[in-house]
Every structure is written in C-alpha cells, then in structure tokens.
Amino acid sequence: MRVAFVGLGAMGGGIVRRLLAAGREVTGWNRTRAKAEPLVEAGMRWADTPRAAAAGADVVFSMLTDAKAVTAAALGDDGILAGLDRGAVYADMSTVLPDESRALAERVRTTGATMLDAPVSGSIKTLEDGQLAVLVGGDRAAFERIEPLLREIGPKVTFVGGNGAALVLKLAINLSLVVQVMSFCESVAVAEKYGIERQAAVDALLSSVIASPVLGYRGPFVVPENRPETAWSDVKLQQKDQQLGLGLARSLGAAVPFASLGDQFLTATRAAGLGHLDFAAAYEVFAAMGGIE
C-alpha cells in the first residue's frame, strides 16, 4: 500500500517511524518542515502540501491537534480531500468531536474515498514499546483493508462501529485517564504531607493494587526530576481533550462528576503557570493545597 501521513508531531512522527521500520513507503507533510527532517532522513518522502501527500496514496493518515487543524489540512485547494483518489481510505487519528468527524466523513464520501476515525490510546512510550491501542469507527470493509497497517502501528486494534464511534470511546477513555492521574496525585500528597519522601510514595503506590498502565508511565512524573523534557501531553492539550469529553457526555445526558472535578484541577494547574508541562504536574496544585513545601 502507498501510505501518506499528514501531521508529524511527536505521536504522528513516531507512527511514521514504525511504518518505515515495517518496510512501508510513506509520504508525509507537516506544517513545519523542520520537524519532519529526521523522518526524511529515515526514508520518508516529503510532500509540499497535504494534497500532494494524499495524491496517489491508497491510505492517508492524519494526526493533528484539533478540529481546526484537521479542517485546515483536509479542505481547500491544497487539502487532503483535493488529492484523495477514488477508493482511497482516509483515516484520521486526531482527537475531535464525533459530530465533527462524521461531517468530514460525508465530504470524503463525495470524493469516492472512505473516511475512518482511528484515534489512538496511549503515550509516546506506549508507541515506542509497541503497545499502542487503535480504535476504529466507520466502514468495516475499509477497516479490514487497512487493518494490517494499523497492526504495524500498534497490536491492540479494535473496530467499534460506525463513523464517530471510535472517538466516543477515545474521549471516554481520556475522561477516566485524567481522573486516575488526579487521584494518584491526591494519594501521593497525603503520603508526602505525613513526611514520606515523594519518590518513595510513588514507588510504593505503583507497586500496589491501584497500579494501571497509565499510572505506570505517568505516575513518576509527579516528581519533577522524572518529567520528560518535552511533555508527552501537556496540560493545555490534555484539557482540550477533557473538555471535548465533558461536552460529549453532557450532550448525551451522562453524569461525569469525577471527570468534571479533574477538569477543574487542570484549570488550576494552568493558572499556576504549569500548562506547558505534562499534565501529571497537576501534583503541584495538590501539594500547594496541602501546604507541602
């Protein structure tokens, strides 16, 4: 399959590396070319526009920050849709609202191509470890065509229903993810307030029954020395997803009290000037509330 990838940030670029390592020929585009240079050096072909990337591709992936970025890359004279071939599959891996994705899928259908929503669950480390989960919504036949590619990206691939269904699950997962991390911060703060050294508390909690995959790789970030130089998911980006999930839940009439409280702590973390850090930095809010020096 001829593969194109639009959006070469930390996750998108990591996915392209996995596809290249699997022997795939990939053509890519990114708003800032400099970020793509290491991928070009690794064998990716560069395209000057999303349209040029999509032209001639059997499968086009995109992974972009938000709906505005997806729309900008997909539509217009130089957009993905202008370059899509009839019969191609466009799989958007961005985290956006299901309704927004379904509306774009209708526009893709008019080109003779098919769109899937294919958001991922995991982190940069999950991707590097080959454990990324991919959720897929849309036409089942299109999914089956690209399933081999998806399994090269991550082994946990799940088809969940029609267009938008995968995004519903992605947003639901992220609501729980934030709640887990905030609850972990709370527990560490209790231990540290008593006088237990923070790192020791983290180690003990991650060896206990509350350990989970997300806490396993993100829990250590409550200790500043353990935080990555570049945030895997900074507070601002994580809150974007959180608020999308909250909006979806409210539109469905679903109760999300814990997720709503988690969102408030993300707001407090941004107010503390920590919005650029991985969102586990919300621990500093708990420490300040508890008078922990």
Q: What is the pLDDT of residue 105?
A: 97
The answer to whether residues 279 and 264 touch, using CB atoms and an 8 Å cutoff, is: no
Phi and psi at residue 38, in whole multiples of 5°? -60, -30
Domains identified in the chain, total number: 2
Q: What is the CATH number of the domain that holds 100?
A: 3.40.50.720
For residue 246, give its domain range.
Answer: 168-289
Same domain, 270 and 193: yes
List of the chain residues with pLDDT < 70: none
What digits encode the pLDDT tens for the residues 20-59? 999 999 999 999 999 899 999 999 999 999 999 999 999 9
Same domain, 187 and 283: yes
**DSSP string over 154-207:** -SEEEEEESTTHHHHHHHHHHHHHHHHHHHHHHHHHHHHHHT--HHHHHHHHHT
Q: What is the pLDDT of residue 293?
A: 77
The last residue of one of the domains, among 128, 161, 194, is: 161
Active site residues: 170
Same domain, 152 and 238: no
Alpha-carbon distance of 131 to 125, in angstroms, equals: 9
Q: What is the pLDDT of residue 124?
A: 86
Q: What is the pLDDT of residue 104?
A: 97
Same domain, 184 and 210: yes
Same domain, 199 and 269: yes
Same domain, 155 and 179: no
Q: Please state the pTM of the whole predicted model.
A: 0.92
